A and B are shown apart, each in its own frame.
Chain A
Amino acid sequence: MSGVNDLALKIATVNGTGSASANGLLMQSIFRMGIPVTGKNVFPSNIQGLPTWYEIRVSGEGWTARSPEYDLVVAMNPATYARDIAEVQPGGWVLHDSSWPLARELRREDVTFLGVPLARMGSEHFHGSRTLILMKNVGYVGALAALLEVDRDVVRSLLEERFGEKKRALLDANFKAFDLGFEFAREHFEPPLPIRLSPMDATRDSVLIDGNTAAAIGCLYAGATVASWYPITPSTSLVQAFEAYANRYRKDPETGKLRVAVIQAEDELAAAGMAIGAGWMGARSFTSTSGAGISLMSEFIGLAYYTEIPVVFFDIQRVGPSTGMPTRTQQGDILMVAYASHGDTKHIALFPADPKECFELAVAAFDLAERFQTPVFVVSDLDIGMNDWVVPRFEWDDGYRPDRGKVLTAGELEAGAVFHRYEDVDGDGIPWRTLPGVHPRGAFFTRGSGHDRYARYTEDAGPYTDVVDRLTRKHATAAAHVPAPVVARRPGASLGLVTIGGCDAACREAVHHLAERGVPLDYMRIRAFPFGDEVGAFLLEHPTNFIVEQNRDAQLHHLLLVETAVTRDRLASVRRYGGLPLSAVHVVDDVLGLLRESGGNGHGAAVAGAGSAAGTASGARGPNGGGGGGRAGGPGGEARRGRGAGPSRSAGRGDGGGS
């Protein structure tokens, strides 16, 4: 139940009106009050004029997933009043601009309307339409601050940091607008509301950061020197952040010149080519894009795979297929990155769950790329990449040195080292390489056409398969070196729940709630492909594993079937792919739904064990009971919103839930 430090807000505004900065101010203030908070920007693919939403969830317990159960909605966009007001939880609040009356049909009996005449107050105190709009935004932040007990001093100091003494007038105007909203709410609404904030000390060692910035810092620290890119939401901010940091931290103090090359390419094909060319030369290079870009890069990805060139690709996933929904999140590229390009290709892919892991796995990606001489994908998504997350501060060990992998030096070549580019000297599938220009004996011909272990052109079956079979061994070797899955076991759990990437927060929370409801689950979050042995072992340990992911086609589920020894009967699929970040309530709903349904599907024994623990009506799970009985039998174990799961061991939802 919502209450102190446990609440969800939704703020509905118009894109391009400066509301993002006001919402950020609110979010950052809560963070500074030491309270765990999450912000999700739900924005349109548009620069100005379309509806946009910002969701803030406060969770003293530290849950960071999105919550679609809004206690309070700030309705600032008349164009979306109807749907925004409809989404407030019964008993909740709607904060709206009362400068104009709210249409009668928008009124709801079960929520409280808090009207603040923001536009009117603004025009009384400010001039110029732009200022007015900006001030309206800060005004609702002020009202919310009063209602929720946001620390006014914290807001003040944040505004001071933001505008400084140099922009004194702006600072004053902002604070005045804040106070107008604040005072109005105090006078008219008897704050605080029962949902409110209370200072904590839970964010002292945390930062509030987005995943793209975090990944950029990772690239900076890993020593990347060449970045090539073509703008595409939601990846653009990654290279832009990298460039900004490079301008600051990679500048030669004497000459002012840069120890980095950031190249905005003409398209993603060229961006991939540049990164590969630089990797071939021995630089740590990367490109950052989204799924559409990976599609275009595919031919080059195969080239890098087959010629064994280290290079890092960031894929910040968005909703596909095609242009899809460019400003919504999804995990639709899992299969694509695993096998990108024509012919037999297999890659290394890392799946960060939050910005801190974006930083860490960015560094790991460069080490793996050089160690295994192959493209490595860091697969993030719009939610991780562009939203601000509260995560523990990143650590850095000054003892870190890049793993350059097996590179023969000029000295070794001079001393007569035997060098055959594609020979498996060490039995791990990884050959030795040389860098161009280093030594005459290191020269060889890199080619995407058929080649033998000596890097010579071939059209003969034997020498060709010799090389591609070694590539298979190399990929298998990598399984033991990529980041291991994160596993959390629960006493009494017999079933498993498995997920990947940004679903982590919602899944951990769901596993917690399910345990409270008598469904203890062991939890595994996969962090990399190829799958290490632990992944398959975990799946085989559990008669049923719920595979939770954000795509229509159960891509992780399929990858697990293909790449581990698990059989189909042990996997049940939970999917949400409507474009919004996953919420725990979705997972809880779908898992319980699947458990109820399982009686009739021939795997009753496996799921029934957990089902009885869930305390749902036993009639649901009789050998001949079928799903209907299940639904009739028991809402007892259900999640907060009644939403029936699919009829089989698969629950897919396009609605993203909650909106």
Chain B
Amino acid sequence: MTHIEKPRVHHPALEQNELGLTRRDYEGRMSTLCAGCGHDSVTAAIIETFWKLSVPPHRVAKLSGIGCSAKTPTYFVKEAHGFNAVHGRMPSLVTGGNAANRDLVYIGISGDGDSLSIGLGQLCHAIRRNVDMLYVLENNGVYGLTKGQFSASADVGSVAKTGEVNRQRPIDPVLLALSLGASFVARGFSGDKAQLVPILEAGLRHRGLALVDVISPCVTFNDHEGSTKSYRYTREHEVEAVEADFVPLRRELTAEYEAGDVREVAMHDGSVVRFRKVPAHYDPTDRDAAYAYVRGRQEAGEVPTGLLHLDPTGQDMHRALGTVETPLVDLPFEALCPGRDKLAEILAAFR
């Protein structure tokens, strides 16, 4: 079983969003992941995000590949259309889905095995196309579902539960995405929901691909002493490099922060990402600076987190394809078929 039915009880006192929906309305089925699995915390942050942004549940398309992480779309937004596909290939399904219907809200959930090994090519090319989606990479350094083999994100020197030491250099999704020119790159930690939710909110509202790498410990196979993806290691080495708040379009801007301490970046729909505690000289819209900063912090043995890079001018895939604003699935047949007379015209070239 990957899920257990959850009774749906509405309490009148439960807080409602703009659609009159409560957080419960954004939940899914009961998780069957291991108790304490980081992925469940990410699910909770996703539920919070969709609720806060008042996204109509049935307008959400949630997709995943295969893995423990890939099971999680079942656990949020039950009224969304879900697609649990094949290992490492979620990005291409989102690409095709989005090409056909650009009006839905796309979220793809993946794991470090799913995205950095078997599906590395699809991740890279989805970034390159800037498919409009929120891409959540639940990163635990191992293949959870196949019982704990190292993944490509395992750090050099990280020790497996079996005692095996990883000697290969990791593929860091944040650096990879930055080098590929991703328009939205963030890293979060499943143990820090307060930081993660605004990142996910901004990611959902971003037009283009928003890559959010979430360190999400696997309590069963990679949370021991010697692991560099454990709760403890992450807590001890995480530095919130860039704190970000997401201010949706309709919400009032409140001046909570000292001027000079804050940097605001407007998104395509008028929403604002407000960066706080930005280190001196750090410009989150400057890709090269972000890359250098993240590398520097990693060299110092830290795990930098936060919304690390944002290019709000990014043009998504449809811009490059030149497609009409109307979702292709909504076009009437009459707008698609040239008809009999035009066939004569076409065939005249073959005489």
Contacts and interface: CB of A to CB of B under 8 A. Distances in A.
Nearest to A303: B86
Interface string A214-229: 0001001111011010
B53 interface: no
Contacts of A272: 92
Given A225-B100, A439-B58, A446-B82, A269 B324 contact: no
Interface in B157-199: none
Interface centre among B73, B96, B129 (most CB of A within 10 A): B96
A437 B103 contact: yes
A221 B104 contact: no
Count chain B CB atoms within 10 A of each CB in A262, A276, A400 and give the residue with the most: A276
A280 interface: yes
Interface in B305-347: 318, 321-325, 328-329, 331, 333, 335-340, 342-343, 346-347
Given A225-B328, A252-B324, A442 B350 contact: no
B100 A220 contact: no
A449 interface: yes
B81 interface: yes
Contacts of B328: 225-226, 259-261, 278, 283
A258 interface: yes
B151 interface: no
Contact of A273 (B57, B96, B124, B347): B96
Interface in A267-300: 267, 269-283, 285, 299-300
A446 B74 CA distance: 10
State the main secondary structure of chain A at its contact with B. Answer: mixed
Interface residues on chain B, size class? 35 or more
A259 B335 contact: yes
Nearest to A440: B58
Interface in A432-458: 435-440, 442-449, 457
Contacts of B79: 440, 443
Given A207-B350, A265-B125, A443 B58 contact: yes
Contacts of A276: 93, 96
A103 to B, nearest CB: 42
B333 A277 contact: no
B78 interface: yes
Given A259-B328, A263-B321, A447-B83, A273 B100 contact: no
A249 interface: yes
A250 B336 contact: yes
A274 B92 contact: yes
A447 B58 contact: no
A643 interface: no
B252 to A, nearest CB: 30
B265 interface: no
A65 B322 CA distance: 42
A283 B342 CA distance: 23
B279 interface: no
A440 B57 contact: yes
Contacts of B95: 263, 270, 273-274, 277
A261 B98 CA distance: 10
A223 B339 CA distance: 11
A138 to B, nearest CB: 21
Interface stretch (A391-399, A475-483, A554-562, A627-635): A391-399
Contacts of B58: 437-440, 442-443
A14 interface: no
Which of A208, A249, A266, A435 is the most central at the interface, judged by chain B CB atoms within 10 Å of its CB?
A266
A285 B92 CA distance: 13
B94 interface: yes
Most buried by B among A209, A249, A263, A436: A436
B121 interface: yes
Contact of B323 (A213, A257, A446, A457): A257
Top 6 A-B pairs ranked by shortest CB distance? A273-B92, A277-B96, A274-B96, A436-B81, A283-B100, A277-B93
9 contacts: A223-B336, A255-B325, A265-B125, A269-B92, A270-B89, A270-B125, A272-B92, A436-B104, A437-B81
Given A226-B99, A280-B93, A280-B96, 16 more contacts: A223-B333, A223-B337, A255-B324, A259-B323, A266-B121, A270-B91, A274-B92, A277-B100, A281-B104, A402-B333, A443-B78, A444-B82, A445-B73, A446-B82, A448-B86, A449-B2
